[in-house]
Amino acid sequence: MSASVNSLINRPILASIHSHAFQHNLNRVRELAPESKIWSVIKARAYGHCFEAALKGLESTDGFALLDIQDAVWLRENDWEGRILLLEGLFHESEMDLSQQLHCDLVVHCEAQIEWLERYADKVHKPISVFLKMNTGMNRLGLKPAAYRTAFHRLHAAGYRMHHMTHFANADQIDRQPTVDSQLELFNQTIEGLEAPTSLANSAAILWHRNALGDWVRPGIMLYGASPTGLYSDIEHAHLKAVMQLQSEIIDIQDLQAGDRIGYGGRYEASENMRIGIVACGYADGYPRQAKDGAPVWVGDDSKAGGGIICPIVGRVSMDMLSVDLRNAPNAKIGSIVELWGDQVPVDEVARMSDTIGYELLCAVAPRVPVVIK
């Protein structure tokens, strides 16, 4: 039997987080946006990679951008002394004191938040940076251009260090409205004459809209080595590396006769005699139940050092297991290592075969999957 993916526990499943890949991807962002500072976006437990791993792998970032003030507490408790941006600002006025203690930068996207900051202005003892968010067409968060300049002046007058910010709706698409160019034009018109650093670009803009970077870029998905468009080819082209490797093992093998069916619903019917590997990974681990027949996994081959081959999944993914067609892998046996996604199997490919995006799969890795930081 091959070395187990996880010798510490009985069930062989493991998410390995590769710090060197984090560093590599962060360096790629620096090469693509050499004039900009970097907010590394680590919301949703660092897109499912866990905060410990992000802190270790991305320690040379200029700042971390996240959602929940409790995650900022965690970063400070773990000796992060650099900048922290609360990406949606405060959710309650009562968080003002804590955010100041933690020395967080704040996104401000609505009138209520402006009023909280104005009321707090007398209690500010260290300058607080505000990233005032403009809604330039995405219509999610942010002040409409007509209200933006007044808001900027109010917060500036209250003593806050001002920055301009917006978010692109379609940096990963060419022909969808609003386009990056239309959002950028509105943004630039609105901030004319209001001197302050800017923050604009998410991963897709960093990769494909170099005219729209701003002074602070905000990469998320590209730091994790996955694609904003869902096309693995663009990630390969950008020389990004997968940070997470999700692995399991074959725990049983079934020999099927032509006409036999596999798993719940019998979705897949064997067209000939074939071997099926049963892998200890299911939707309760975060593998998508919607995965279609043909979604790729990589099956290790002990007879070739580091060798292995891509095989397709067949039949419906169940809670704790999935089934793999082993016709490509005659040497596969119980204990063979299987990569669900990582270096060999782009998470974007699994996402494509499951009608979703890599973001969702990475964020959804279940708490029951042990994580090791390498």
Ligand X SMILES: Cc1ncc(COP(=O)(O)O)c(C=O)c1O
Alpha carbons 98 and 42: distance in angstroms, whole number: 20
Interface with ligand X, residue 117, by CB under 6 A: no
- Output the residue with the shortest Cβ distance to ligand X: 220
Is 56 a known active-site residue? no
CB atoms within 10 A of CB 94: 9
Q: Which amino acid is at 180?
A: V
- In the region spanning residues 224 to 263, those forming contacts with ligand X, defined by CB under 6 A, are 228
Contacting range for ligand X; rule: CB under 6 A; set: 7-15, 124-132, 201-209, 235-243:
201-209
Residue closer to ligand X (CB basis): 6 or 40: 40
Residue closer to ligand X (CB basis): 47 or 298: 47
Interface with ligand X, residue 48, by CB under 6 A: no
Binding ligand X (rule: CB under 6 A), the pick from 48, 57, 137, 220 is: 220
Binding ligand X (rule: CB under 6 A), the pick from 12, 63, 219, 300 is: 219
CB of 102 to ligand X, least distance (A): 19
- In the region spanning residues 71 to 110, those forming contacts with ligand X, defined by CB under 6 A, are 87
Residue closer to ligand X (CB basis): 163 or 167: 167
Residue closer to ligand X (CB basis): 13 or 50: 50
Interface with ligand X, residue 202, by CB under 6 A: yes
Catalytic position from the list 37, 43, 241, 292: 43
CB of 136 to ligand X, least distance (A): 12
Residue closer to ligand X (CB basis): 41 or 151: 41
- In the region spanning residues 308 to 327, those forming contacts with ligand X, defined by CB under 6 A, are none
- In the region spanning residues 22 to 41, those forming contacts with ligand X, defined by CB under 6 A, are 41
Interface with ligand X, residue 167, by CB under 6 A: yes
Interface with ligand X, residue 61, by CB under 6 A: no
Count of residues interacting with ligand X (CB under 6 A): 11
Is 264 a known active-site residue? yes
Binding ligand X (rule: CB under 6 A), the pick from 218, 285, 299, 347 is: 218
Residue closer to ligand X (CB basis): 40 or 248: 40
Binding ligand X (rule: CB under 6 A), the pick from 113, 198, 203, 344 is: 203
- Given a contact cutoff of 8 angstroms between Cβ atoms, the answer to whether 179 and 170 are in contact is yes
Would you tell me which residues interact with ligand X (CB under 6 A)? 41, 87, 167, 202-204, 218-221, 228
